[in-house]
Amino acid sequence: MTRPTAIQISDVSKRFVIRKEKSLKERVVNFGRSKLHKEDFWALRDVSIDIESGTTVGLIGPNGSGKSTLLKMIGGIIQPTSGSVRLRGRLAALLELGAGFHPDLTGRENVYLNASILGLTRAETERHFDAIVDFSGIERFIDTQVKFYSSGMYVRLAFAVAIHVDPDILLVDEVLAVGDEPFQRKCLERIRGFQHEGRTIVMVTHSLDQVAEFCDRAVVLEAGRVAADGLPRDALKVLRADFEATRQEEITKSQLAEGAARPLAQITGVALRSDDGQTGRPTLVVGSGLAVAMQVDATTRLSDWILGVGLTTPMGTTLYQTNTKLMGVPPAPLLGTGKYEFHLADLPLGEGDYSVQASIQLLDGTDVHLVPEAANFSVRGDGSSLGPLSVPVTFAMV
């Protein structure tokens, strides 16, 4: 049975006008030629997303990709230049620090103000007031003007109000990163409770681990367009690949700019072989080993360098890393092609899919080449455990 659509975003675009005048005087002087002194910036272009009721969706992407703009459109704070956004149910939004609060009012007064903006009557706010203050943990300062609050106190009170308006849809921007760790855990536990209650949650975060843990789905935005939309593991792969491509581009530019002062080298091949002789994408049994063969091509002399290997989960979480420096086996200087092999013995990995990282660095830590997903393999378990680690366990009545 399909769930009803809680949020329907249809062909949404948003244009902002960037003015080049730096002062009012310049704007007056250039009044007749205003078009020459401004340009259009499209924060979003033709974005269409349907979000089902009861799902948790993460909006992710690099800075400036349009995540917060889209969230504000869902919240009705800004209107699209074209397209439409339709919602089903009561909305609560925690979009930016202090949104909906008046700095000259006290915390108590702002609770009533913010709750009324979110659709609660005064009687409903009074019924929830003690719970709101208790959740925020700032009872001592509830009658202090909020302009004297710290950023953490702002977030505590705003989140406490938002979760007590009984929302069908909760929008959460990066603001939770402002609170301290105990309060973040408290908020995330409440979000988990909302998920069990079947509420719809849309969150913008740069914490990819939170996306992997909480979201049923992730949407990657790049330059105002949808670059990927699907399971978190797939979307995060796209995002991390883009991050690494950008990083590698920066490395290459630095190499070319520095010329001979910085070597030009690449990992041009990575091949895997299991202990029982499987190649390609091998399937290991728990506790077996894996050989990782690498080919490195250096077009300029590569000396005082480090070759590294690592293992990651499908979400990109690093489980293990080592390199020739840590192992105390520095490779000889290289000009041309070199072939090397790491053997990872007795891998204590749980059942699942894994990726191999490969990297070249100089001894001073300068990156030369990074391959975040150089090869893939799987581990077959007996179904007695979950997670990326395999640990021998016994159980007894005592």
pLDDT tens digits, 30-40: 665 555 567 78
What value does the mean pLDDT of the chain take?
84
User: Tens of pLDDT along 348-369?
Assistant: 998 888 999 999 999 888 888 8
Tens of pLDDT, residue by residue over 161-210, are 888 877 888 888 876 666 677 777 888 888 888 888 888 999 888 777 77
Share of the chain above pLDDT 70, in %: 87
Report domain extents, the chain: 5-232, 238-379
Instruction: Please tell me the distance from the alpha carbon of residue 342 to that of residue 272, in angstroms, as a whole number.
Output: 10
Architecture of domain 238-379: Distorted Sandwich (2.70)
Among the listed ranges 35-39, 269-273, 325-329, which one has the minimum average pLDDT value? Answer: 35-39
Instruction: Kindly state the average pLDDT of the residues 280-293.
Output: 92
Architecture of domain 5-232: 3-Layer(aba) Sandwich (3.40)
Query: Which residues on neighbouring strands pair with residue 15, listed in sequence order?
Result: 42
